[in-house]
Amino acid sequence: MLTDEFGREVTGVRVSLTDRCNFDCVYCHNEGLGDTRGPMDPQDDEMETDDVVRFLEVAAEFDVDAVKFTGGEPMLRQDLAEIIERTPDQMEVSLTTNGTFLPDRADELVDAGLERVNVSQDALDPEDFAAVTQSGAYERVLEGVEAALDAGLDPVKLNMVVFEQTAGYVPEMVDHVARNDGLQLQLIEYMPELTGRPEWNIDIQRVHDWLAEQADEIEHREMHDRKRYWVSHDEAPESDRGMVEIVDPVENPTFCANCHRVRVTHEGYLKGCLNRNDDLRSMGEMTKSEIRETFRETVANRVPYYGEYMVQNGDGEWEVNDEYIEGYAGT
């Protein structure tokens, strides 16, 4: 298993299969990119099926035991089931999706080996949902969540980005997962540095405090130093509870200190951090020897985003660490 100089073992990889998406979410930094007609073969700028599998086979050599396929919308790849089926057996396979193609493909993907799924759902009202996603696919997403549960995926995590437009929907979403068996809620802190809209940011600690008041039980998860809140519904039996987890990376050095993933872009570049694009390393023509060396280099050069790449100045504000840029990154 590969370990970076901060002692973080790399146990998982996130592989983007495309930057195309059939949604145009207002908080996304890749709005409305590419051909969105439906699932199709890999496009010119996307890794081929064999490229993805070859990388995963190399990652497995280094004892990586989990892969999450992402996008864009990964289900716009026609070959998704084949990729999942050819993923090394030792790897747990999960998927992040907007859910619109799940009604037709959930069974196929589970048969191929899909074990977990995260479905983006930022609101429970069709009009609110449309305002955030710029999409009229609300009912289709609900069908997709149901299809995932029917196919045996349990739990199904609902991903909700929490920012100015969605913060008021949190109580209803929490109640929703408490009412419905098999659903969990993942509240994702809005990242203004990726989208350039700092005015949309909210104080995520207020969400933590509110959940702590509602929760019957609070757990601590080592991965990214996350908290899990177990919340009961007023009318449900005590045994029926919903799990709510907050993903809060912004200005959070502890979050970065517990990161154990390397990412792969849809073009075939390895990167050590989601927030950075100055650490991209091409896997070349995808020979296994090149991938092995590039993977080692990527892990060796991983730096926590907050606390190393970004540091606090005298006013407590986060800014790029010039010493890192001029020194460590230039070597």
- Binding residue numbers for S-adenosyl-L-methionine: 27, 72, 120
Going by the annotation, the residues of the binding site for [4Fe-4S] cluster are 21, 25, 28, 256, 259, 273
Kindly report the number of other CB atoms within 10 A of residue 5's CB atom: 11
Going by the annotation, the residues of the binding site for GTP are 14, 68, 96, 157, 261-263
Two tokens, residue 231: 């919340």
Look up residue 301 and give its amino acid: N
